[in-house]
Amino acid sequence: MQYIEAFLYAIDQVNNDPTVLPNLKLGGIAFDTCGSANRARRDAANFINAIVEYRYGWPSNRVVVSGIIGEQTSDITLALADVTTPLQVGVE
């Protein structure tokens, strides 16, 4: 949970400083995969393809996914890469 809080805090700091990324707004969503590679693949694919509706703080127009931050374990991160690589979305 600390990593998610730090991630969201960093996004807020960037968005609140008009000199860092002028005319650009960052966003972030966290998914709990419960350590499941299959759940990670499904959630990532649904998110990238805008199949799931995200209600809080997102504009009604399509959001561009520039990258996905993987989990602490390599097996989950590799599962994410299976989904994102063909779609040319990077996993960090």
Question: Does one domain contain both 20 and 65?
Answer: no
User: What does the mean pLDDT of the chain come to?
Assistant: 78
- pLDDT tens-digit profile of 26-50? 888 788 888 888 888 888 888 777 6
Q: What angle do CA 37, 28, 71 make, to 5 degrees?
A: 30
E strands, the chain, in order = 67-68, 90-91
In this structure, the chain runs to a length of 92
Max Cα-Cα span within the chain: 40
Is the pTM higher than 0.85?
no
Residue-number span of the structural domain to which 16 is assigned: 1-30
Q: Which of 88, 49, 41, 92 is nearest to 70 (CA)?
A: 92
Question: Does one domain contain both 80 and 40?
Answer: yes
Query: What is the model's pLDDT at position 80?
Result: 82
What percent of the chain has a predicted confidence (pLDDT) above 90?
Answer: 16
Domain count, the chain: 2
**For residue 21, is pLDDT > 80?**
yes
